[in-house]
Amino acid sequence: MHDDHWEGRRVLVTGAEGFIGSALVDALVDRGARVRALCHYKPYGEAGNLAPYLDDPRVEVLAGDVRDPFLVDQAVAGTDTVFHLAALIGIPYSYVAPESYVQTNVVGSHNVVAACRRHGARMVHTSTSETYGSALRVPMDESHPAQPQSPYSASKIAADAMVLSYHAAFGTPVAVCRPFNTYGPRQSARAVIPAVLEQLAAGSDVIRLGSTTPTRDFTYVTDTVEGFLAIGASDAAIGRTCNLGTGSEVSIGALAEMLVAVSGRRARVVVDDARLRPEASEVDRLLSDNSLVRSLTGWAPQVTLEDGLARTWAWLRDRPASRRYQV
């Protein structure tokens, strides 16, 4: 990928106020892109992670909803590349309100890819390692079977298929980016790393977790963003699905111990039954094979887990408690 690839390009980022989306906006602005940032409309008018750009001519902040095809069409018009990150995330809520996941994730993604087809834009669609379910073999490459173990993962499997169908049927230039567990500053407090750090920052000496035995492949947010940019700049990635992960795994229990160490606090980890997921729904093991994206784009993760956790703790520790994390 050439550093000047994004200079002067008009780029749409959906889900732009989110954890990864806002970091992607930062990186695109740094590389000279003109960014249109589609954010979920909120009647209470909070800019959140995009507040620094409200008066910045390099970024056009647009409020809306990917479920509205007319608004999506307007957002895509005139852009060269679309990074589609807007999604309803969070596995637990998908048990409660599965239809809303179908509407936002499947219908919303269809609206975006259909608009990209009409306007001739390239689309980088965001998938998730949750589409794989629990590992049947490791490391998990892109041919690992999809296993819809939650309504959330099912909606993302369907969205991926819809987007890729537009490449097969219409030649729409799409690529699917499949991050494993991304972490870092700005992540929602629902996720495991900020949930533990919040408890430590509050001075708790007992860290409450759901199951401690599952393993995950954690990627620091700047590495994930570089992966998106590499895939977006790569003609070889069109029509492909690319894992973004580090290729190393850690159990949630071991991760919690690392977080305690990073924080310099004293605390013990206990399992909280209220945080456990339905047994058949818990994904026990995720471990990426990232060799495809390496071979297509040259991307490789740069930030070790220890370093990334230290950066995340430093960011959280220095912020007022009320502003640390969006929830």
Write 65-70 long-range contacts (CB < 8 A, 24+). 65/40, 65/41, 65/108, 66/14, 66/38, 66/104, 66/108, 66/109, 66/111, 66/112, 67/103, 67/104, 67/107, 67/108, 67/111, 68/111, 69/111, 69/114, 69/115
What single letter denotes the amino acid at residue 310?
Answer: A
Checking if the pLDDT of 235 tops 70, the result is yes
pLDDT for the residue numbered 272: 81
> What is the band of 241 on the pLDDT scale with cuts at 50, 70, 90?
very high
Domains defined for the chain, CATH in brackets: 3-181+219-246+288-302 (3.40.50.720)
Q: What is the mean pLDDT of residues 163-170?
A: 98
pTM > 0.85:
yes
Q: What is the mean pLDDT of residues 199-223?
A: 93
The 10s digit of each residue's pLDDT in 105-149 is 999 999 999 999 999 999 999 999 999 999 999 999 999 999 999
- Asked if 141 contacts 291 with a C-beta cutoff of 8 angstroms, the reply is yes
pLDDT for the residue numbered 318: 85
Cα–Cα distance for residue pair 295/6, rounded to 1 Å: 21
pLDDT for the residue numbered 1: 43
The 10s digit of each residue's pLDDT in 289-325 is 999 999 999 999 999 999 999 999 999 988 866 555 4
